A and B are shown apart, each in its own frame.
Chain A
Amino acid sequence: KQEVTQIPAALSVPEGENLVLNCSFTDSAIYNLQWFRQDPGKGLTSLLLIQSSQREQTSGRLNASLDKSSGRSTLYIAASQPGDSATYLCAVFQGAQKLVFGQGTRLTINP
């Protein structure tokens, strides 16, 4: 059974810092991995999709890496801004169809 863990559960940093969010999964036989952000009381916004054959994917200030052999992914956020405050969710595709989610990292960027 696939389990996804995100560390830390919460993170608070001052504006402008670069930061890394971690995601680990127990079964390395994944298809793809997707990172989301969720604002309080809102839906999920897709940030990045990393295909299983890729090592990393970039979008603006975000960079996500994937190491299947070690069962890890990281989300790097450069030059953090208060608007980046949200919960960040990591999810792996199991069976090519359904996403298995971690519990999320609640990020607060302090002005």
Chain B
Amino acid sequence: NAGVMQNPRHLVRRRGQEARLRCSPMKGHSHVYWYRQLPEEGLKFMVYLQKENIIDESGMPKERFSAEFPKEGPSILRIQQVVRGDSAAYFCASSPTGASGEQYFGPGTRLTVT
């Protein structure tokens, strides 16, 4: 059973460009979570999704950030018009159940905004 897959592993974008981060959960997992780790800071929750539904987006910045988990395909975290402050490691996690079930993390995407 392959683990959580994220791609790309490293992404470089210039200020003002768009960044798309992809996450494929573990097989059989229908719950996906995105977390962000800013330099020298801890991991912070961003959003929780199930197939075709956003369940909790309380940690998402109000502007420029969006997430989706379509019926088919990976979950996508999209950042429009990136700024230097968006440079961070973005981690995706999946779980077979949303009820405080163990979360399994992917290797992360390291976004650098130049």
Contacts and interface: CB of A to CB of B under 8 A. Distances in A.
Contacts of A34: 102-103
Contacts of B104: 46
A97 interface: yes
Contact of B105 (A31, A36, A97): A36
Secondary structure call for the A interface: strand
Interface string A91-110: 10101111111111000000
A52 B91 CA distance: 25
Nearest to A32: B100
Contact of A46 (B56, B102, B110): B102
- Most chain B CB within a 10 A radius of its CB, from A31, A45, A101: A101
B91 A97 contact: no
B59 interface: yes
Nearest to B6: A43
Contacts of B45: 98-100
20 contacts: A31-B99, A34-B103, A42-B107, A43-B91, A44-B43, A44-B105, A45-B105, A46-B104, A46-B105, A91-B43, A95-B56, A96-B99, A97-B33, A98-B45, A98-B58, A98-B59, A99-B33, A99-B93, A101-B43, A102-B42
Interface of A: 31-32, 34, 36, 41-46, 49, 51-52, 89, 91, 93, 95-104
